Amino acid sequence: MVFTRRVFNSRIPARTFVLKAFVCLAGAFLIAACSTSETASPPPSKSSPAPSSATPSGALGDLSVSPTPTASPAAAVPGVYGDPAAVAKYWHAQSLEDNCGLMSVADIVGETSGQQPTEEQILTLAENTPSVVNPGTQIYAPRNDPSHTNGNGGVSMGDLVALLDHYGIKSTMSDDDHPDQTGMPAVQSYLGAGRKVIAYVNSAVVWNTSDQRTKADHFLVVTGVDTNKDIVHLNDPGADHSDEQVPTATFKTAWQTSGDSIVFTAPTS
């Protein structure tokens, strides 16, 4: 089965805050964000791309980690999938406008191995690793590249799979062209089995802001689903705290803007 339908970058529009601690620009608070422009097809949905031979020296960016999945809660509660409290410590806010995908990868690496790369480490790795989606470019353009300010920056969804593969974490990208691989029942199944999920959503719907609500523009990590309370738990790098909680209906609306696009990790042995 080959994934041919969608390819994604992520970049969030600027928004104004009172209680959020983000970069101040021209009198408004600019949240760290993510972009939407891509032209190539991602790798097949059933396999991860080979790790790149181009890796920066030093730092955790060089390391292939041994997955050690987060344990399930000691007392599993029926209708609750995942353990958001246990993995909340791997949340870190993005400090740049268009690196939500990179911070989501760093979160998953931490959740899976306990060895989480810093923002600087994951940025350096992405700046030095060729894209599997856009040949001839790096996964993340150098930080002084104009693409980061003209709306053409961000990270492709297929390259999130490549970055996870670099750390020895196999994953698959999919969307609603493959309904057996995505949707809320699939997410619940993945989380219940200790697998990890990155979702591609519309940020304005998640945060209830006045920005555009028709296109996905943001990556985040889904850490839990509570069907008893109809809540989805998120480690959202664009939020100002870990374990962001949104109504399931809100999450589904935000997620549907990408055709329920996700990256989910493979079962652990």
| CATH for 78 | 3.90.70.10
Sole residue written with tokens 């719907």? 205
Task: Please give the structure tokens belonging to residue 149.
Answer: 């300010």
Question: pLDDT (tens digit, 9 = 90+) per residue, 35-66?
Answer: 433 322 333 333 444 333 344 444 455 554 44
3-class DSSP state for residue 30? strand
Task: Show the domain range for 204.
Answer: 23-41+67-265
Q: Which residue has the higher pLDDT, 34 or 213?
A: 213
- The larger pLDDT score, comparing residue 71 to residue 31, is at 71
- Sign of torsion, CA 81 85 91 93? positive
Q: Once rounded to an integer, what is the mean pLDDT over residues 109-120?
A: 96
Band (111; pLDDT cuts 50, 70, 90): very high
Asked if residue 233 has pLDDT above 70, the reply is yes
Residue 13 lies in a domain: no
Residue 260 lies in a domain: yes
Q: What is the pLDDT of residue 61?
A: 55
Return d(Cα 234, Cα 87) in angstroms, integer.
10
Q: How confident is the model at residue 216 (pLDDT cuts 50, 70, 90)?
A: very high
Residue 84, CA atoms < 13 Å, CB-side half-sphere: 22
Burial, 106: exposed, middle or buried (Cβ in 10 Å; 0-12, 13-18, 19+)?
buried
Cα separation, 225 vs 92, in Å, equals: 20
Give a yes or no: residue 254 inside a domain: yes
User: Does residue 3 form part of some domain?
Assistant: no
Q: How does pLDDT run across 171-186, given as a tens digit for each residue?
A: 999 999 999 999 999 9
Question: Mapping DSSP to helix (H, G, I), strand (E, B) and coil, where does residue 173 land?
Answer: strand
pLDDT at 115: 93
- Whether 151 is in a domain gets the answer yes
Of residues 234 and 44, the one with the higher pLDDT is 234
In a domain, 48, yes or no: no
Higher pLDDT, 115 or 71: 115
Q: Residue 221 domain-assigned?
A: yes
- The count of domains in the chain is 1
Nearest to 70, CA basis, from 120, 107, 122, 117 = 107
For residue 218, how many other CB atoms are within 10 A of its CB?
35
pLDDT of residue 76: 74
Q: Which two tokens stand for residue 185?
A: 């029942």
Model confidence band, residue 150 (pLDDT cutoffs 50, 70, 90): confident
In a domain, 209, yes or no: yes
